Amino acid sequence: QVQLQQSGPGLVKPSQTLSLTCAISGDSVSSNSATWNWIRQSPSRGLEWLGRTYLRSKWYNDYAPSVRSRITINPDTSKNQFSLQLNFVSPEDTAVYYCARRGAATLDYWGQGTLVTVSS
Amino acid sequence: DIVMTQSPESLAVSLGERATFNCKSSQSVLYSSDNKNYLAWYQQKPGQPPKLLIYWASTRESGLPDRFSGSGSGTDFTLTISSLQAEDVAVYYCLQYYSTPWTFGQGTKVEIK
């Protein structure tokens, strides 16, 4: 059974960097079939896919255009986890952030969610 | 980006009755090389992450009650709950995973009448 456990601060000041981590059990971040994703949810923007990281013969990343200039998703093979960094946050980045695995078809396992509030 | 539009925004159905709601994509999510629709349905209850119900537009996730079914192809899709149960009260989302950025519909809220 795959489990994803999120960690990270729930409060970030404007213009600073949001950092979250998603620890994986029951699968590997180095899987050659899965992809590892971040999604957020807010009342104003709904569910929004932010990006992914995955290993095929090398590491790849894809990011949503809405955040491409500010986002980094990195795998950490030593800890079997992956992370999200979102730079220069504003109150519009306040949301519940989820990590999720794409398995054989689509997003099948999700983390528990982390409410991140951007406020001074 | 592919825009996903769900209708209706909310739906009130009596227990045991059928609930049907729709999802329309701004372009086809049918991939010609494998003849699969890259469309999934999720159920979300308050305080929980979305739960995968249906993928490839009509394949039920393991353990999903058979009162849930998905249909459609190309740009028009439907999720049907054949006999609504109290535990089905939730918001339902569609997701296209045909091309990045993957995009979700805005959701349909299902309530008991």
The pLDDT tens digits of the residues spanning B31-69 come to: 999 999 999 999 999 999 999 999 999 999 999 999 999
Is the distance from CB of B3 to CB of B25 less than 8 angstroms? yes
What is the number of H-type helices and E-type strands within chain A? 0, 11
pLDDT tens per residue, range A15-67? 999 999 999 999 999 999 999 999 999 999 999 999 999 999 999 999 999 99
- CA angle, residues B105, B50, B41, in degrees to nearest 5: 50
**Over chain B, what is the mean pLDDT?**
97
The band of B88, judged by pLDDT with boundaries at 50, 70 and 90, is very high
Cβ of A46 within 8 Å of Cβ of B106? The answer is yes
| 3-state SS, residue B87 | helix
A91 phi and psi angles, rounded to 5 deg: -55, -25
pLDDT value of residue A14 = 97
pLDDT value of residue B52 = 98
pLDDT value of residue A86 = 98
List CB contacts (< 8 A) between B1 and chain A.
65
Q: How far apart are CA A53 and CA B35, in angstroms?
A: 26
pLDDT value of residue A36 = 98
pLDDT value of residue B73 = 98
A46 to chain B, any CB pair closer than 8 A? The answer is yes
**How many of the other CB atoms lie within 10 Å of CB of B20?**
15
CA distance B84 to chain A (A): 24
